[in-house]
Structure 1
């Protein structure tokens, strides 16, 4: 049962969210003595709230994907086999209330009660994505990728923004710009992966009446579209290496070997990808790129200090 629950909430993805947020707090903010707002407990609650809302989003997505998953991944289906639909919906409600409730508490704690709307909007978008938005061409992919980027941005909003003063404005702005760079990276890589999953799940999507680039353009044209989008993070990362990291050989090697090289390999393999297995492999490569890219947050203290 425990394994089924972990599978349902996408435990590995939730772990990556938590690791990313902890790296931002303790490997980026603390080493540079950045002015912050949240205590360790407050930060833990923010992280816990984010994870709860993300887990709830994964659950409700699976609830509304039952028919599609029966075609695409019947062996991976959890709801209806190991966990009842009623139990899944109960878990979704509990996790959503927890996530939004903690968000409301934290927003008032930092003196920004209006920020509680962020948690409500994110939860609402996850529900709308599961029930409607993912059926819309491109829109669903863009929405879910934007929410992935918010995992990073929300740390800046709650921990950096309220602590800005005239004296530290420049330093805070530089750190916030780093967060925005990583948020853009997460957005682009996740967008690529969402379209790759559409390629992989074409049959189930078609049978459930869902629209996607694959269904609209065909696999070959969609591959070309993905290739063009994939060039954007590749160019931006190379520019970032040249502009910010070139003085640190270890940072350059890390970025080239663990981010740029896998991304190049992904683009090369993409051009000949046709089968579900090939697209599954490409999705896995993007997961690795996302992981190595986000883990690099922990290296800034060695690069800049």
Structure 2
């Protein structure tokens, strides 16, 4: 149980769910729209997805390894390393998970004759290490790195699925007889951008929650440099990068997906932004972080609505 908490099993489940829904709801239906062969069948997708999960798990381990002192201040009752799991065991697990991830992704890359695809996993592994050891303590950079890595969860499937490349030069809406389908490149682009912006917002809120321990360890996060109120205003500003496209989608997209986008995503996110500055306490920011995660999961869930509406 301690190991599951260390690797944030619930977050890993969200990573798996994201890639699974993208594969099932966006990639698989494309087989009927092109004669281009697809690489990510069930086996290859499982290998790439497992590789992503293992890299994320290793990232959580190394993050806690470098955050032992900070966690002792911010959340002493929840700290696992040095209390339940030995540091040496954690480093070994981190290394093993990364090696396994590279082997699994490498098997898919080599089967396609594209060994350089493996740089996606190598880049993620190295970036996670330097994020944990250095970047997360820097102003803005750490938050952007995590947002980038989250967006890469979706973008990885674009790299490993050559069948998608056919649609890069296609129009926003595809037509085949009486059937119509949104270009998957646009769909994946929208979800990738949504994941980036909301993750960036949530990472800043987590810094607001942890600012006391971060300050004690010499971190220069946004809440420490700008203060809590100015940081909250910055979050409200960048939230427009998600809210404005959602409002447009709510109006432009017809049917159940438009209704879902407005009532399940647009309204809750707008309410979240308005409530963010209501209090300035650790408990408040912790709740706001959790609420934002719920909105993010709801965004992922919209892929199911997209699938049934597109294939009705």
Q: Which residue of structure 2 lines up, in the alignment, with residue 95 of structure 1?
A: 97
Q: Aligned pair 1:287/2:293, yes or no?
A: yes
Match of 1:118 in 2: 120
The alpha-carbon deviation at position 25 of structure 1 amounts to: 1.2
- Does residue 253 (structure 1) correspond to residue 259 (structure 2)? The answer is yes
Please tell me whether the aligned partners of residues 28 and 298 of structure 1 are also in contact (alpha carbons under 8 angstroms): no
Structure 2 residue runs of 5 or longer lacking an equivalent are 175-180
Partner residue in 2 for 1:187? 196
Q: Which structure carries more helix by proportion?
A: 1
Report matched runs for 1:210-289 at 5 Å. Answer: 210-243=219-252, 245=253, 247-248=254-255, 250-289=256-295
Q: Map Cα deviations across residues 240-265 of structure 1 (whole Å, 9 max, x no partner).
A: 2222x2x20x2222222221122112
Partner of 1:57: 59
CA distance in 1, matches of 2:235, 2:262: 21
Q: Distance in 2 between matches of 1:139 and 1:256?
A: 32
Distance 1:30 1:209, change over 3 A: same
Of the three residues 2, 5, 14, the one matched with 1:7 is 5
The correspondence of residues 152-171 of structure 1 with structure 2, limited to 5 A, is 152-159=154-161, 161-162=162-163, 164-165=165-166
Mapped to 1, the partners of 2:209 and 2:4 lie a distance apart of 23
User: Matched residues in 1 for 2:164 and 2:30: separation?
Assistant: 15
User: What TM-score, normalized to structure 1?
Assistant: 0.93
* CA displacement at 1:57 relative to structure 2: 0.4
| Cα deviation, residue 165, structure 1 | 4.9
RMSD: 1.9
**1:286–1:165 Cα change, 3 Å:** closer
Q: CA deviation at 1:271?
A: 2.1
TM score, norm. by length of structure 2:
0.91
Aligned residues: 299
Q: C-alpha distance in 2, partners of 1:273/1:53? A: 36
Q: Is the 8 A contact 2:136 2:143 kept in 1?
A: yes
Structure 1 residue 48: Cα displacement:
0.3
Q: Distance in 2 between matches of 1:23 and 1:166?
A: 19
Shift of 1:28: 2.0
Structure 2 distance, partners of 1:167, 1:99, is 28
Select which of 146, 149, 153 maps to 2:148: 146
Query: Which structure ranks higher in relative contact order (CA pairs < 8 Å, sequence separation ≥ 6)?
Result: 1
CA distance in 2, matches of 1:181, 1:191: 15
Q: Which runs of 5+ in 1 are unaligned?
A: none
